[in-house]
Amino acid sequence: MNGNSAVPQAAGELVYGYGNRVAYDVDSSAGARLDLRVNENFLKIATTMAVMSLVVVCSILTAHAADQKDTRPSTSIGTAHSPAISHAWARATVPGQAVGAAYMKIYSAVDTTLTGIESDVSRSVEVHSMRHQNGVMQMRAQKQLEVPAGQNVDLAPGGIHLMLLGLKKPLKAGESLQLKMTFVDGAGNRTIVPVRVPIRPFGQ
């Protein structure tokens, strides 16, 4: 993949698995929107590894929804009022894969908003939401993520997730990556929460 490109763009059509056809359109400069149109009973060979990996991640997001329970600890450090991150994990990737995904629970005692994320393994990190509409799985970047007081916000496969874009190296199972998550509360207080994210084996 071209790791130097400031504005990754891609569009086209590819196929994965047994007959799933996917049309994709990625344009980070135009609001970072990603649409996946899945069409059954259509068989071809995937185009490039990078695009393939994107689909692998996205198909996992839908195929493995709610099958994950992580008992391993993740680390969050912050002030007394900072949001708490738990159950953080990311999925291992294969060499050449350009994107990864990370999941977690976010809890805050006060209303707050996740406004920015950085990682040590990718060029950028986005909050993505997913929805199924007329047989079309759409994955869309959102600028920020509201975290209402007193409830857990779940980032999980098939739902809201953090997308690691422009991986600098493969995510290896057993290792971990680091996130810096920036939250801003209603009073404008900014808290940066460092999070250690364990990497799980691919396929789990």
Nearer to Cu ion, 170 or 185 (CB): 170
- Per-residue binding string, Cu ion, 72-111, x by CB under 5 A, is ----------------------------------------
- Give least dist CB 46 to Cu ion, A: 18
Residue 128 contacts Cu ion per CB under 5 A: yes
Contacting Cu ion within 55-74 (CB under 5 A): none
- Give least dist CB 128 to Cu ion, A: 3
> Cβ neighbours of residue 194 under 8 Å, at least 6 residues apart?
75, 76, 77, 78, 178, 179, 180, 181
From 8-16, 108-116, 125-133, 196-204, span contacting Cu ion (CB under 5 A): 125-133
From 44-52, 138-146, 169-177, 193-201, span contacting Cu ion (CB under 5 A): 138-146
Residue 139 contacts Cu ion per CB under 5 A: yes
Residue 163 contacts Cu ion per CB under 5 A: yes
Distance CA 147, CA 156 (A): 15
> Which of 157, 185, 31 lies closest to 89 in space, CA to CA?
157
Residue 188: phi and psi, rounded to 5, are 90, 5
Distance CA 166, CA 2 (A): 8
Q: Which residue is nearest to Cu ion (CB)?
A: 128
From 19-27, 128-136, 145-153, 179-187, span contacting Cu ion (CB under 5 A): 128-136
From 70-78, 80-88, 132-140, 171-179, span contacting Cu ion (CB under 5 A): 132-140
Q: Which two tokens stand for residue 136?
A: 């079309």
- Give least dist CB 125 to Cu ion, A: 10
Residue 137 contacts Cu ion per CB under 5 A: no
> Which of 141, 122, 113, 129 lies closest to 30 in space, CA to CA?
141
Q: How far is CA 31 from CA 16, 98, 124, in A?
A: 26, 19, 14
Count of other CB atoms within 10 angstroms of residue 178: 13
Residue 94: phi and psi, rounded to 5, are -95, 155
Q: How big is the site for Cu ion, counted in residues (CB under 5 A)?
A: 3
Q: Which residues bind Cu ion (CB under 5 A)?
A: 128, 139, 163
